[in-house]
Amino acid sequence: MAAKENDELFELIHALNPAERRAFKLYFERNAQSDVTKYIKVFDAIAQMEVWDKSKLEKKFKGDSTITYYSKTKALLLEAIYESLLQNNTTVLVYNEIQYGLNKIRLLLRKGLQDTASKYVEKYKTLGYAAGQFPLVFEILGVEEDIYNTKVKDTTNILDETDVVLEYIKEEQFFNRKNRAVYQYYIQYGTRLPDDVKLKVRALQEEINKTPHSPASFLSMVKKHSSVALAYHIMQENDEAVNAMLEYLKLYFQTPEEFQRDRKKEVIRQMNNMLSYAFHKRDFTYYSGVGDVVRNYMQNIPGEETAKLEVEMSMLFGKISLTHDYSIFEQALDYIESSKTNLVQTHVVRRGDYTFNIALLYTKIHRIDDSLRWLQYFFDIPNIEGRNYVFVYAKILEILIHWKLHSQDLIDSRTLSLKRYLTKKGKLGEFEKVLISFITSSNINNTTKGFQRSLKNFKENLAQLDKTKYAGIVENYNDLLEWFVEPE
């Protein structure tokens, strides 16, 4: 069974896109001082894993020093991957490029090469403006002032330019503070604001909206519109939230490529937020229209396939939730099955949500073998048992599927395993007691009629739970059970 642990090299390799993997191999072949082939084989073997499992490497490369001394192999490959990424300009953040340029300028100045340093000052200052990296531009202006002082030249223009840049930085700090203030309200209250808090959010949103931003300050622009959108959302004014995000996207794609290069993941994340705002309208036609807009904009962003996958998953699950039309899922199956490699690279919490929902949807289109396959992907996620509610729900689904498949031995082992998991957690709540009652009953009543009786008792016991505390849980379990409880 896959080891439920993380490995830095595994995670980094799976974070690379195909072009970056090719670039690494070319870089490694040119620069490695040791046996290239055997290390590339280790790289490829890790790349082919869906879940980190060191024992598979030990078996595949039995007796090989690359695995016997894996910590050295890992350190060597990690360093080489980092270096190859830095060598490949398409993957280097503009921020890092400017920082590298600043170090180069300071090195030249220490060597007394002011004229050469001056050429780089202009190059990286221009890049800093284009990327909206004003704190770095401020640093470069400080270096430029030193060069002028060394040459006894008038620094008035530089000092004036520095003042302008400082104003940009202050403006960005203003919008950053307002963005954090809106987000804190969201964290504390979600979209259920008390009346007095709603007035505060309204005042904050109006203040942000009426405060102009400099055309040169791209970061202020994106912070302003994303903050306004979130404020509208938490006040449940989702039309306005979507419109604010449309303005955000329109302005974002008018900014220089250098600014966009550092923020591709951020803008895709904001597209996901936009879909969430649209979903709360509970209107399928409206939601689909916003999804089409998002997809059109997303096509203009190179790479970032994992982040794009998350948007596609949100769209898919959103459409199904609004319509309960499972043919939407069937139409997306080729895309879903071809996206497993990118799915492994998503954040562990979202990966758990995606894999479980796919398993559940396979059940709803009566492809229970595929549902079991995706449940196994879910259970293989490191530390997934820590997500108690989803983990238990998945375990119940697994038991129900094995019952459908008449796999009594597996029902016995899975029910006992789940019972141990629940009782190990200490004091049981009312819901956990209902679950254990069902597990115990289903383990005893292993005939078809007996199991059906256990399911119906489970459903009746769920209905008795405190609705103020367990309403969402009961609704989700009832939705699951309707696919397995046979009519009278």
- Exposed, middle or buried: residue 230 (CB in 10 Å: 0-12, 13-18, 19+)? buried
Domain contains 15:
yes
Please tell me the predicted confidence (pLDDT) of residue 260: 84
Distances (CA, A) of 429 to 190, 327, 426, 466, 469: 26, 38, 10, 11, 11
Q: Amino acid letter at 430?
A: E
User: Where is the domain boundary, 87, 103, 123?
Assistant: 87
pLDDT of residue 1: 36
50, amino acid identity: E
Parent domain of 102: 94-153
Q: What is the pLDDT of residue 33?
A: 63
- Do residues 34 and 62 both lie within one domain? yes
Number of domains the chain contains: 2
Kindly tell me the sign of the dihedral angle through the C-alpha atoms of 161, 163, 164, 165.
Answer: positive
Asked if 18 and 70 sit in the same domain, the reply is: yes
Note whether 76 and 100 are same-domain residues.
Answer: no
Q: Are residues 24 and 72 in the same domain?
A: yes
CA atoms of 105 and 114, how far apart (whole Å) = 9
The answer to whether residue 144 is domain-embedded is: yes
267 belongs to a structural domain: no
Q: Supply the DSSP string of 334-373, one letter for each residue.
A: HHHHHTHHHHHTS-HHHHHHHHHHHHHHHHHTT-HHHHHH
DSSP 185-224: HHHHHTT---HHHHHHHHHHHHHHHHS---TT-HHHHHHH
The confidence score (pLDDT) of residue 2 equals 40
C-alpha to C-alpha distance for 454 and 456, rounded to whole angstroms: 6
In a domain, 474, yes or no: no
d(CA 39, CA 191): 51
For residues 65 and 104, membership in a common domain is answered with no
Is 60 part of any domain? yes
User: Are the C-beta atoms of residues 226 and 182 closer than 8 Å to each other?
Assistant: no
Same domain, residue pair 73 and 102: no
Where a domain ends, among 113, 132, 153? 153
Rg of the chain, C-alpha, whole Å:
28
- If you ran DSSP here, which 8-state letter would residue 155 be given? -
DSSP three-state, residue 262: coil
- Structural tokens at position 340: 């497993």
- Mark whether 115 and 80 lie in a shared domain: no
Domain boundary among the residues 38, 65, 87 is at 87
* Token pair in block for residue 67: 């695995």
Identify whether residues 119 and 55 lie together within a single domain. no
- d(C-alpha 460, C-alpha 462), whole Å: 5
- Residue 430: count of CB within 10 angstroms of its CB: 13
DSSP structure class, residue 301: S
Contact between residue 310 and residue 272 where contact means Cβ atoms under 8 Å apart: yes
* Residue 427 forms part of a structural domain: no
Write out the two tokens for 453. Answer: 């009786």
One pLDDT digit (tens) per residue for the chain, 488 residues: 344 456 888 888 888 877 788 888 888 887 766 678 888 999 999 998 888 888 889 899 888 888 888 888 888 888 888 777 766 654 457 777 888 888 888 888 887 888 888 888 888 888 888 888 888 889 888 888 888 887 767 788 889 989 998 988 988 888 889 989 999 999 888 888 899 999 999 999 999 988 888 877 888 888 889 899 999 999 999 999 999 999 999 888 888 888 888 788 889 999 999 999 999 989 999 999 999 999 999 988 888 888 899 999 999 999 999 999 999 999 999 999 998 888 887 888 888 899 999 999 999 898 989 999 999 999 888 888 777 788 888 888 888 888 888 787 887 788 888 888 877 766 677 888 888 888 777 666 666 677 778 788 888 888 888 777 777 788 888 788 777 766 55
Residues 80 and 121 in one domain: no
In a domain, 347, yes or no: no
Provide the CA 103 distance to its chain's centre, in angstroms. Answer: 33
Residue 27, in any domain of the structure: yes
Query: Residue 467 contacts by C-beta under 8 Å, 6 or more apart in sequence?
Result: 474
